[in-house]
Amino acid sequence: MEKLLCPSLLNLSDDYLKDEIIRLDQSGVDILHIDVMDGEYVPNFGMSFQEIKTVRANTSLPLDLHMMMKNPGRYIRRYAECGINIMYIHPDSEPIPTETLAEIRELGIHPGIVINPGISLESVAELFPLVDYVLVMTVNPGFAGRDYLPWVEPKIERLVEIRKKYQFHIVIDGGVTWEIMERLWNKGIEGFVLGKQILFGQEEDYKTIIKKVRKHSNFSC
Ligand code: DX5
Ligand code: ZN
């Protein structure tokens, strides 16, 4: 198993968006993680359609869209036009999530769900056969730089067990540090959203850090 490394673009400065995307593109990451918000489901805003188009124009890497908004189904066609490859919805934000997930797949995009810290696996169990990705929030959604919530970990362990019956990838989003990544990797998690703790605002460049992350995974195999 290879690690799935997904830098969160919420950590980028808009001033150098194009240059930063090119740097990330060449750093060896797998998927660019784009957070979008409506100021209602969470009290914040993320990338605009225009910025996402700039991202798409400067990389051929897959783009995942983390939709922190009410009724995300209203927007999936517009985001599809921006060249998104994976769409994550919060099932608690949509009255009929199964329909939205099916529409995402019909558009040729990988559907995914997001499980907030306070949402149980039981409450979303019916959705597991319908998705290619499950994003587990280890912070409450809406802001970059929050601290990892360790009490979510038993749920992550149960999800690894459940996944044996399905096909989906598991990705962890929020406050991931080197230590947490290593621990969860050893528990069978392959996907990590990378934020300030590992990738952004560090002295070393993206490429050097990503090489180190990959090396770590060889160690524990
Ligand atoms: C939080 C977002 C995350 C966040 C990750 O609501 O979903 O993607 O930006 O970055 P860190 O781990 O630095 O908070
Ligand atoms: Zn996110």
pLDDT at 77: 98
pLDDT at 7: 98
Q: Which has the closest alpha carbon to 33: 51, 54, 53, 7? A: 7
Read off the pLDDT of residues 162-181 as tens digits, 9 standing for 90 and up. Answer: 999 998 999 999 999 999 99
Give, for ligand 1, the residue of 10, 29, 147, 181 to mutate: max count of ligand atoms closer than 8 Å to Cβ.
10
Dihedral sign from CA coordinates of 189, 190, 195, 199: positive
pLDDT at 60: 98
pLDDT at 1: 81
Query: 8 C-alpha vs ligand 1 centroid, how far in Å?
Result: 6
Nearest CA to ligand 1 atom 8: 8
pLDDT at 217: 62
- Per the rule left: phi > 0, alpha: psi between -120 and 50, beta: everything else, 188 is left
**Annotation says 173 is catalytic:** yes
Q: Are strands 191-194 and 4-7 parallel, antiparallel or unpaired?
A: parallel
Q: What is the mean pLDDT of residues 205-220?
A: 84
Token look-up 């979303």 returns 124
Cβ-contact 142, 9 below 8 angstroms: no
Read off the pLDDT of residues 72-108 as tens digits, 9 standing for 90 and up. Answer: 999 999 999 999 999 999 999 999 999 999 999 999 9
Q: What is the mean pLDDT of residues 196-204?
A: 96
pLDDT at 201: 94
pLDDT at 100: 98
Q: Pinpoint the alpha helices (H) of 60-204.
A: 76-81, 97-106, 153-163, 178-186
As a whole number of angstroms, the distance between CA 103 and CA 60 comes to 24
Read off the pLDDT of residues 123-157 as tens digits, 9 standing for 90 and up. Answer: 999 999 999 999 999 999 999 999 999 999 999 99
Residue 175 Cα: closest atom of ligand 1: 12
As a whole number of angstroms, the distance between CA 134 and CA 202 comes to 28
Read off the pLDDT of residues 18-46 as tens digits, 9 standing for 90 and up. Answer: 999 999 999 999 999 999 999 999 999 99
**Average model confidence (pLDDT) across the chain:** 96
pLDDT at 221: 40
Query: 185 C-alpha vs ligand 1 centroid, how far in Å?
Result: 19
pTM of the model: 0.96
Query: 68 C-alpha vs ligand 2 centroid, how far in Å?
Result: 8
Nearest CA to ligand 1 atom 7: 141
Active-site choice (14, 15, 19, 35): 35
pLDDT at 220: 47
Lining residues, ligand 1, CB within 6 Å: 8, 10-11, 33, 35, 66, 139, 141-146, 173-176, 193, 195-196
pLDDT at 216: 75
Q: What is the mean pLDDT of residues 39-54?
A: 97
